[in-house]
Amino acid sequence: MKLYVCLVVGALCLVPRAAGQEPGTASSAAARTSTDSDATASTAPASPVIDKRAYGVLPNYRTAELGSVYTPITAGQKFTIARKDSLDWPSYLTASMFAGISQLGNSNPSFGQGMEGYAKRYGSSAVDQVVGNFLTEAVMPSILHQDPRYFRKGHGSAASRLFYAASRSVIAKSDKGNWTFNASEFLGNGMVAALGNVYYKDSVGFSPTMQRMFSQILTDSLSQCLKEYWPDVKAYLQRRKARREAAAGGM
């Protein structure tokens, strides 16, 4: 917008001068102005590309850049983010991983062992994940007018970036672009943790419910830390690959 205003003002300033110029001179000035405009446009920074999966396996559909101009998203877009996060194939791997950890630790013994026990653990883990995604990324953000996206900082010291990423589970943007308490994260995960009392027969009550809720919030914080540094890791890997290719080409 600033570039457009500058070009308009510059053109208005040239109008009186151009009126007294020879046709060839005026054409040259216009050509130079057009060339400068094209050069400026070509050097404008491009919008960063957000990979749909960080590290190839971590769903990354709700990541945005903090430095860009804030644009709110609709309730429909929030549900789309939740759907993609829930149905992307790495989500099934995550559910199977949590089920395996639960099986090894024999948590919720009433599930039993063997394939039947694993199937029950996998099903409960998948329910936690899908319901949690929709509550924290779609339902509660739509009701509370909050933005479920993680806005990547992308600059500063390592400690400041890690603190920022982890704290976004507590702090979120409203649909107006202001930072506010992330009620969607706490209420959404609290609701799915309470739902767990239905199928986690060995872990019923206030204390197990709080443990499940804060475990999920901690998992979300860790996920945001990984997403914060994924572009840095990707750039490092690309540079290392380029050096190897250059070294191989020089042999």
Name 249's bridge partners: none
Q: Answer yes or no: is 123 within a domain.
A: yes
**pLDDT at res. 48:** 56
| Residue 9 and residue 82 in one domain | no
| Residue 31 and residue 109 in one domain | no
Q: Answer yes or no: is 110 within a domain.
A: yes
Q: Answer yes or no: is 201 within a domain.
A: yes
| Residue 36 and residue 66 in one domain | no
Q: Answer yes or no: is 48 within a domain.
A: no
| Owning domain of residue 187 | 53-246
Count CB neighbours of 108 within 10 A: 20
| Residue 154 and residue 205 in one domain | yes
| Residue 18 and residue 101 in one domain | no
Per-residue pLDDT tens over the stretch 83-117: 999 998 888 888 898 899 989 988 889 999 999 99
Number of structural domains the chain divides into: 2
- What is the token pair recorded at 93? 């791997």
Alpha carbon 226 to chain centroid, angstroms:
10
pTM of the model: 0.75
Query: Helix crossing, 114-134 with 75-87: angle to 10°?
Result: 160
* SS3 annotation, the chain: CHHHHHHHHHHHHHHHHHHCCCHHHHHHHHHHHHHHHHHHHHHCCCCCCCCCEECCCEECCCEEECCCCCCCCCHHHHHHHHHHHHHCHHHHHHHHHHHHHHHHHCCCHHHCCHHHHHHHHHHHHHHHHHHHHHHHHHHHHHHHCEECCEEECCCCCHHHHHHHHHHCCCEEEECCCCEEECHHHHHHHHHHHHHCCCCCCCCCCHHHHHHHHHHHHHHHHHHHHHHHHHHHHHHHHHHHHHHHHHHHHCC
Q: Answer yes or no: is 146 within a domain.
A: yes
How long a stretch of residues is the chain? 251
| Residue 186 and residue 118 in one domain | yes
| Residue 129 and residue 240 in one domain | yes
Residue 193 · residue 216 · CB < 8 Å: yes
Q: Answer yes or no: is 107 within a domain.
A: yes
Q: Answer yes or no: is 217 within a domain.
A: yes
| Residue 39 and residue 76 in one domain | no
Q: Answer yes or no: is 251 within a domain.
A: no
**pLDDT at res. 27:** 41
Per-residue pLDDT tens over the stretch 192-218: 999 999 999 999 999 999 999 999 999
| Residue 76 and residue 180 in one domain | yes
pLDDT above 70 for 40: no
| Residue 8 and residue 121 in one domain | no
| Residue 30 and residue 60 in one domain | no
Least confident of 7-16, 44-53, 55-64, 187-196: 7-16
Per-residue pLDDT tens over the stretch 125-183: 999 999 999 999 999 999 999 999 999 999 999 999 999 999 999 999 999 999 999 99
Alpha carbon 156 to chain centroid, angstroms:
18
| Residue 26 and residue 91 in one domain | no
